[in-house]
Structure 1
């Protein structure tokens, strides 16, 4: 009986943490347009697999997206090497760029920031 309770508790905790986590998904122009038109918070994460700065940013961003404060934020990932037209549309010239939107308005961007406080400050702008 104790094993069943433990398994149930773990499953329930996992579901609760998923419900409190922000979405992380690949960029889709259609979905981006829909989210921003609805006034939702969106952060674009432009990165490259070979980029050491991007690798430093990833655990910080992933950790933030698991926090209840950012459960309504959608993080959309964009591959720097394969999405040149999208990068041009957002005026992005470098990998390790984060662009924050509150609805249809860009509220901030950073390039190469690897500080937890700096990245969280940017994400916060989408929900405040």
Structure 2
């Protein structure tokens, strides 16, 4: 198989994997696809109530979202323990994951980071 066929096959498989989450008419993250499609800055924060890193990340993210720089960023919280369909859709395997989107595309993700400057840096990538 040439490279083009391989790439098309991978794209078809990816689409087939992502489609079932929406095919049944249930959106695992209400409003998420619309927000990403709109092209504005989007943040997904995957957390768990028992996660120490998540507890450290939450107030940092909340403080940043309250500033003028991030006033247009839409945040979607995903519970690691209960939203398994959302984890599959996002290809997330760990709690304390932050994913940012800009212009309809994922631009970066990180897991387990708790330093305010690092969290702000990844969020700025979506602006």
- Give the whole-Å Cα distance in 2 for the aligned partners of 1:47 and 1:61: 12
CA deviations on 1:39-91 (whole Å, 9 max, x unpaired) are: 11100000000111100111100110001000000111000000111101111
TM-score (normalised: structure 1)? 0.75
Runs (5+) with no aligned partner, structure 1: 1-26
The answer as to whether partners of 1:48 and 1:54 remain within 8 angstroms in 2 is: yes
- Give the whole-Å Cα distance in 2 for the aligned partners of 1:38 and 1:89: 18
Residue aligning to 2:72: 72
- Give the whole-Å Cα distance in 1 for the aligned partners of 2:49 and 2:101: 24
When the two chains are superposed, the root-mean-square deviation of aligned CA atoms in Å is 1.4
CA deviations on 1:64-122 (whole Å, 9 max, x unpaired) are: 00010000001110000001111011110000000000132101001000010110001
- Give the whole-Å Cα distance in 2 for the aligned partners of 1:103 and 1:96: 24
The answer as to whether partners of 1:35 and 1:103 remain within 8 angstroms in 2 is: no
Q: Which runs of 4+ in 1 moved over 6 A?
A: none
Runs (5+) with no aligned partner, structure 2: 1-26
CA deviations on 1:3-60 (whole Å, 9 max, x unpaired) are: xxxxxxxxxxxxxxxxxxxxxxxx9634111111111110000000011110011110
Residue aligning to 2:114: 114
Residue aligning to 2:58: 58
- Give the whole-Å Cα distance in 2 for the aligned partners of 1:37 and 1:81: 27
Query: What are the within-5 Å matches in structure 2 for residues 97-112 of structure 1?
Result: 97-112=97-112
TM-score (normalised: structure 2)? 0.76
